[in-house]
Chain A
C-alpha cells in the first residue's frame, strides 16, 4: 500500500530542485538573473528576516503596474544595503502579480567577488544607461537608489535626511523608455546598523567608500553583522507619468525638475511615515 501524501510530494520536489541545480537544467537571463534560485532559495531565506525580524509593513503596493515597465526609486540607507533585498521581496510578495524587481547596483557590487555573483543571480545589474534602458525596454520593473553610497554610508544622526540624487540619470532613462516613475519611501533601514563613525584610512586601504563603526561593529566581530531589529514601513507613492516630457529626455532642466519632484515626494512621505512609527524598535 503506497499512499502519496503531502510530504512525499514535498520531498520529491526538493530532490527535483536539487537535481536541476546539480545538472544545470535551469535558465538565467542575459543579465544573469536566476529566477529559480531567487524564488526557491534566496527569497524563502530573506522572508524570515522580512516577516519576523523587520516585521515589514507595506502600503499602496497597487501603485506598481501589474504589467509593463516602471522605474521604482527609493531612499537608500543602512550601512549595508539590506533595503534593496527587503524592497525586492516586498514587491514580489505583496503585489498580486508577484513581479521581480530588477535592481541597479554600483560598480563596487560587481567588483567584489561573491557579492557580484550573488547580486547577478538575484537580478541586480550595473547602474548604467544601457542596462537600465534595456530592462525598462523589455517591460521590467527596475529599482534604483539614486543616493548611492551617500545614502547607505551616511551617519546615524542624518537618518531619513535624503542625500543628493546623483545626476538624475534614472529620470532620463525613464523618459527615454516612457516608463512611469514610482517613488518609494522606506522607513526602518536607517536603524539596522546605526553608523556612528567612519575609519577613512581603513576604507581607503580596502577600496570601499567607508569603513563603518556601529554600536556592534567592529567591537563584536562577526556578531556586528547581525542587524538591529527595527520596524520597517515601505510606502509606494503615486506613479509619475513621464508622457508630457518623453521627447525632452536630453533637456537637463526637465531632468532636474523631475528628479527634485521625486526626491520631495520621498522625503515628505518619510516624515509622515516616521510619525506613524514613534519607536524604531516597537511593533
Chain B
C-alpha cells in the first residue's frame, strides 16, 4: 500500500488530488500538507469531495521550513506529489511570497526527499511556461525543446528553477522515479484561475496586432493525469494539454466577450504597475504557446479532452451575462436573413405591380 504526501492541499488542485487518492483502494495513506489551516481544505476542494477528504490526514506545515522533512520521515512516505507551485502572486500575497514558496518550498521539499530513503516516486506540477517566449520559437513545443532565452515572467523563471532542482535531485537520487508534468492553463466549470477570471470580464484586453494560439486542459483531465502518475509508473517529463488550439480572439468570441486591443508597450507597463497582471500574461498573449501531447497520450494511454471542448464547457458555465452570446448572435442572424428576404420580396412585388404584373419578372428576379 502506498503512502502519499501531497503538498499544496490548501488549494483547489491539491485538495482534489488528495481527495481522489484517498478514494483509491490501492493507496494506503494520504497525507496532505499546507501552510494554511485545515478549514481551507474543504473550501478549496468543493462540497462533492468532502467525504473523501475526511480520509486525508492533514498536516499543517510550511514548506519553506525544514519541518517538511519530519513529515515525510514520520509517515515513511514512498510517494511525494508536489503541487504547492503557485502561478500568480495574488493567491499568496505578492510576488516575493510567491517566489519564496515556489523556489524555497521546492528546495526544502527536495532536500527532505533526498534524506528520506523510503521515497521512491516524485510527481511535480510544472508548467509549459518552461518553454519561455521568443519570436524564434517553433510553433509546437515538444518536451525536448529548450527555451531560447530566460523568460522575463516571474512564474516562468520559477518554473525553470523548479525543474532545474528536480533534475539535480534526480542525479543525486537516481533510485527515485520522477514525473514532471508541464500543464497548460486549467479550465473547467468551477476552476478559478487568473485566466478564467480574465475570460469572465465583459471586455477583455488583448495585445494589438497579436492573436496568440492557446491551449487549455480540463481540470478533471489534469486530475486524472496526476492520479495516474501516482498509481502507475511514468517517469519523465510530459506536456499536459488538450489537443488542438484556440486563438485568443476565438476563445474570447466563444466566451461571448469583447476584445479590446491594447498596444504591447502599454500592457508591459501595466504589468509592472498593476497588481494581478504580469509579464507572464503579456508574453503568453504576444507569443501564444502550443505543445505536443503525443508523448503523454502514448505513455499514459489517455487523451485529455480537446482544448476547444474544455474551453466551451467553461464558457457555457460563464456565458449567461455575455454580450455576444452565441444564441443572441444566431437570433440576430436569423432576423437579418429574414428581413433581407422580406425586403427583396417586397421589392419584387412592387416592381411587378409597376410593370403591370407577370410571372416572368418574378422568375427573372
A residues whose Cβ falls under 8 Å from a Cβ of B: 2-3, 5, 7-8, 11-12, 15-16, 18-19, 21-32, 34, 107, 110-117, 120-121, 125-126, 128, 130-131, 134
Contacts and interface: CB of A to CB of B under 8 A. Distances in A.
Which residue among B137, B209, B211, B256 has the maximum number of chain A CB atoms within 10 Å of its CB? B211
Interface string B240-270: 0000111101111110100000001000000
Given A16-B333, A116-B210, A120-B213, A30 B244 contact: yes
Contact of A126 (B136, B208, B244): B136
A15 B209 contact: no
Given A11-B340, A23-B326, A121-B211, A28 B250 contact: yes
B239 to A, nearest CB: 12
Interface in B122-175: 135-140, 142, 145
A30 B139 contact: yes
B353 interface: no
Interface string B335-346: 011001100110
A131 B336 CA distance: 43
Given A23-B253, A29-B245, A30-B290, 10 more contacts: A23-B324, A23-B330, A24-B246, A26-B250, A30-B139, A30-B140, A32-B247, A107-B135, A110-B135, A120-B213
Contacts of A27: 244, 308
B178 interface: no
B138 A25 contact: no
Contacts of B250: 24, 26, 28
Contacts of A115: 209
A113 B210 contact: yes
Contacts of B337: 11-12, 15
A28 B245 contact: yes
B273 interface: no
A107 B145 CA distance: 17
Which residue among A8, A16, A22 has the maximum number of chain B CB atoms within 10 Å of its CB? A22
Contacts of A8: 341, 344
B137 A23 contact: no
A77 to B, nearest CB: 24
A130 B213 contact: no
B365 interface: yes
Nearest to A110: B135
Interface of B: 135-140, 142, 145, 207-211, 213, 244-247, 249-254, 256, 264, 288, 290, 308, 324, 326, 329-330, 333, 336-337, 340-341, 344-345, 362, 365
A121 B211 CA distance: 9
A113 B264 CA distance: 9
B247 to A, nearest CB: 6
B138 A126 contact: yes
A128 B136 contact: yes
A22 B253 contact: yes
B210 A131 contact: no
Contact of A28 (B247, B253, B345): B247
A23 B329 CA distance: 7
Contacts of A28: 213, 245-247, 250
A24 B209 contact: no
Contact of A134 (B140, B244, B247): B140
A109 B312 CA distance: 31
A144 to B, nearest CB: 15
Nearest to A12: B337
A117 B287 CA distance: 10
B138 A19 contact: no
Given A107-B136, A126-B139, A19 B330 contact: yes
A169 to B, nearest CB: 13
B324 A22 contact: yes
A110 B207 CA distance: 14
Given A31-B139, A32-B247, A130-B138, A24 B211 contact: no
B362 to A, nearest CB: 7
Given A19-B329, A24-B253, A2 B341 contact: yes
B212 to A, nearest CB: 9
Contacts of A113: 207-210, 264
B326 A126 contact: no
A126 B213 CA distance: 14
B312 to A, nearest CB: 9
Which residue among A2, A7, A16, A110 has the maximum number of chain B CB atoms within 10 Å of its CB? A110
Nearest to A29: B245
Nearest to A3: B362
Contact of B209 (A7, A31, A117): A117
A19 B140 CA distance: 30
B343 to A, nearest CB: 11
B329 to A, nearest CB: 5
A5 B365 contact: yes
A171 B208 CA distance: 36
Contacts of A23: 253-254, 256, 324, 326, 329-330
Q: Which 4 A-B pairs have the closest CB atoms?
A: A113-B209, A24-B253, A114-B209, A130-B138
A25 B210 CA distance: 19
Contacts of B209: 112-117
Contact of B345 (A2, A110, A125): A2
A131 to B, nearest CB: 5
A79 B354 CA distance: 57
Nearest to A135: B139
Given A3-B362, A32-B245, A19 B344 contact: no
Given A29-B245, A30-B244, A130 B136 contact: no
